[in-house]
Structure 1
Amino acid sequence: MGAERAAVAELGILIYPGAQMAAVHGLTDLFAVANRIADEHQAAQLPLLRVSHWQVEGDQPPQRVHDSYPQANSALLAVLIPPSIGGFSAGQMSPALAQWLRDQHARGATLGGVCVGSLLLAESGLLDGRSATTHWTSAKAFAERYPKIKLKADTPIVDDGDLITTAGLMAWSELGLRLVDRLLGPSIASSTARFLVVEHSDSASECGSNFAPILSHGDAAILKVQHWLQSTGATEVSLTTMAERAGLEERTFLRRFRAATGLKPTEYCQHLRVGKAREMLEFSNGTIDHIAWTVGYQDPGAFRAIFRKITGLAPSDYRARFGVTPNPKATTF
């Protein structure tokens, strides 16, 4: 399979005590289906999705116990944490696992937590100062235990670029499709969803994928700035500030940032802000002017122009087409 597809993208699935194995195997099958569809499209330019399972045992770091493409030599592009149906509590997390998650994130991996899986991300400290969601039954305890996290319990999925959390026990399919969308494109993600007969937002195929920053480029100085931009929402940034964060002279920073991400810093920030605005338009009832201000635009007119440039739709049209009424109890099962 995929002999002509030279590039490989490794997606790791974490198996911890109490993890829902249906989600582990479901994600594995979802990525296999996506690979097959990409092959059918003869998409040699797309990466082959390599799926690995990482077993947590006691106080040791996770160990690879399954590999769909063992002959490959690749770093983890993403780590997916499935939900638990066994009453997992945050206190069960070992320091070794927390450090392993932080290390993968620092190397450029996107981390995704499904339902209770978001607790592991919270325990690692990676969600501090960031937005996240979790299962509605855990929302109160989550908010009390992690006051530094901006909890959005009424939002089914919070895609923050490098960190993705979902609220539903069965939301592993949407998390998997988000990654297929990023790596193989929205048409293959939509085809995978149709084959599996699972729901998937049409916004990606009609308006372009949600912003998926390139994080696996290996430039630690630029990755540090990217993580900072994701955590702040890029609402108040300047070239000087970003270059200082990277510890680079401005001209050097500009060159390395574009080489690493494929975008100029201003373009990167625009995509990041519009990505957050898309989420708010889909899952909240705030006014468009308020959303513009929240994501960092003092001029609503400028926000509308940039939003249309990136998505092809005016914000009001985007909401009319893709907005949903938040109802956490209706979206978690």
Structure 2
Amino acid sequence: MEPVLPQHNIALLNYPGAQLAALYGLKDMFEVANRLAEGQTNSVLKPHIVDLFEDTATHLHDLPTCAALIAPPSLSAEKHTGQGAVHHWIKTQHQKGALICSACAGAYLLAATGLLNGRTATTHWALKQEFSETYPSVQLNTDQLIVDEGDIITAGGVMAWTDLGLRVVERFLGPAIMLDLAHQLLIEPGRCEQRLFSAFRPELHHGDATILKVQHWLQTTFTTRVTVKGMAEHAGLTSRTFLRRFYRATGLNPKAYLQLLRVEKARRQLELTPKPVNEIAWAVGYEDPTAFRRIFLRIVGLPPGEYRKRFSVEAARQALER
């Protein structure tokens, strides 16, 4: 008779709007990891989908203690935050030692329990402002694809559930099995930065018509030598008043805003055109290509040339032909 291996119960939380591809994808990942781990480890993962709908939430206390809970992404416009019985169950599992995890908008469910208060977490970069306004006690860092706090792990983008799945496998089955799984499923292990994928989306719904006029003006003049003084003059404000109102409206100082706008335009040219990097630098308003490369690296996390190798249309075409 074969010995029964210790099981790590992994609860995959199915809530209203949860992405089913992630739920069943994670289940498949863990089952593949178990096959790869046969003979190499003394434990297995036991994934099971737990429904968090109102008519089932009262039965949560009947479930066994979990080694990990995972709130998957959601593609729904309405973010699910759960209710009392669900919150109590998640917090109870955490108190019993469960690893609490989320991917993308699944972080809303964790934040609603209060477990993320005072902690660093991540979610999809496009949700940054909304999430921060809803849960100001959470120290949000959407530059990171994975934030591992030891007992709580949050992942960023919609497809970051794959990265999260690898992290959970590494935690319970070890790094060797995790790497085998990554190779088997063709997932790049060790990705950690979300900013490589984030686009600059300026805040335009702040209600300050004067600042909005300047923002629209910058969309057409960013290639020229624009100064803060010039922006203030276009707004018809003193420099001091302009700086205060611009920051209040956009959350950025004008210089940082202009850099983000220029770098976003450069990213698109790197992705879609074969233009030399120096030419792109000049085209988006940088007279010094070296300064452009330095700013691009700081904002994006990769040098322009490396970014093109990874994210250009040509790079995608070549990958498909391999």
CA deviation after TM superposition for structure 1 residue 6, in Å: 2.1
Give CA deviations for 1:214-239 in whole Å, capped at 9, x if unaligned: xxxxxxxxxxxxxxxxxxxxxxxxxx
Q: 1:144 to 1:74 in 2, by over 3 A?
A: closer
CA drift of 1:59 comes to: 6.2
Q: Structure 1 pair 144/188, CA: closer, same or farther in 2 (3 Å)? A: same
Rounded to whole Å, the distance in 1 between the matches of 2:14 and 2:4 is 28
Q: Measure, in 1, the Cα distance between the counterparts of 2:149 and 2:20.
A: 26
Could you tell me whether the CA contact under 8 Å between 1:31 and 1:49 is conserved in 2?
Answer: yes
Tell me the residue number matched to 2:50: 54
Query: Whose relative contact order is higher, 1 or 2, with alpha carbons under 8 Å and at least 6 apart?
Result: 1
Residue 11 of structure 1: aligned partner: 10
Offset, 1:95? 1.4
Q: Secondary structure at 1:171's aligned position in 2?
A: helix
* In structure 2, C-alpha distance between the alignment counterparts of 1:99 and 1:200, rounded to whole Å: 34
In the alignment, is residue 325 of structure 1 matched against residue 301 of structure 2? Answer: yes
Q: Which residue of 2 aligns with 1:171?
A: 160
Q: Which residue of 2 aligns with 1:139?
A: 128
What is the DSSP-based 3-state SS (H/G/I as helix, E as strand, rest coil) of the residue aligned with 1:52? strand
- 8 Å CA contact 2:65–2:93 kept in 1: the answer is no
Q: CA deviation at 1:89?
A: 2.1
1:85-124 alignment runs, 5 A limit: 85-90=75-80, 92-124=81-113
Aligned positions, number:
196
- Distance in 1 (alpha carbons) for counterparts of 2:155 and 2:58: 22
* Runs of 4+ that moved beyond 3 A: 2-5
In 1, are the aligned partners of 2:104 and 2:156 still within 8 Å (CA)? yes
CA contact (8 A) 2:145 2:191 kept: no
Contact kept? 1:114, 1:168, Cα under 8 Å? yes
Match of 2:69 in 1: 79
Following superposition, the deviation at residue 56 of structure 1 comes to: 1.4
Q: Which runs of 5+ in 2 are unaligned?
A: 193-299, 304-309, 312-322
- Please show how residues 1-333 of structure 1 align to structure 2 within 5 Å: 3-39=2-38, 42-43=39-40, 45-58=41-54, 60-61=56-57, 75-90=65-80, 92-201=81-190, 325=301
- Secondary structure at 2:143 match in 1: coil
1:13 partner amino acid: L
For 2:211, the equivalent position in structure 1 comes to: none
Larger radius of gyration: 2
Q: 1:35 to 1:144 in 2, by over 3 A?
A: same
Alignment CA distance shift 1:190-1:87 (3 Å): same
- Deviation digits for residues 298-328 of structure 1 (CA, Å, limit 9, x no counterpart): xxxxxxxxxxxxxxxxxxxxxxxxxx9289x
Residues 138-158 of structure 1: CA deviation (Å, up to 9, x unaligned): 100111111111110111110
CA contact under 8 A between 1:23 and 1:83: conserved in structure 2? yes
Is the CA contact 1:60–1:96 (under 8 Å) kept in the aligned structure 2? Answer: no
Between the two proteins, what is the percent identity of the paired residues? 38
**Counterpart residue identity of residue 174, structure 2:** G
> Relative to structure 1, is the Cα distance of residues 63 and 29 closer, same or farther in structure 2, using a 3 angstrom cutoff?
farther
Q: Under a length normalisation based on structure 2, what TM-score does the superposition of the two structures give? A: 0.56
Partners in 2 of 1:202 and 1:135 — Cα distance? Answer: 15
Instruction: Tell me the SS of whatever aligns to 2:33.
Output: helix
Partner Cα separation in structure 1 for residue 75 and residue 166 of structure 2: 22
Give the SS at the match of 2:54. coil
Q: CA RMSD in A?
A: 2.6
Give the conservation status (yes or no) of the 8 Å contact 1:11–1:76. Answer: yes
CA deviation map 1:1-36 (0-9, x unaligned): x95452111111000011000000100000011000
- Following superposition, the deviation at residue 75 of structure 1 comes to 2.3
- The one-letter code matched in structure 1 to 2:131 is F
Partner deviation per Cα, 1:112-145 (whole Å, 9 max, x = no partner)? 0100001111111000000001111110011111
CA distance 1:130–1:84, change in 2 (3 Å):
same
Q: Aligned equivalents of 2:85 and 2:55: distance in 1?
A: 6
Say whether the 8 Å CA contact 1:121–1:127 is kept in structure 2.
yes
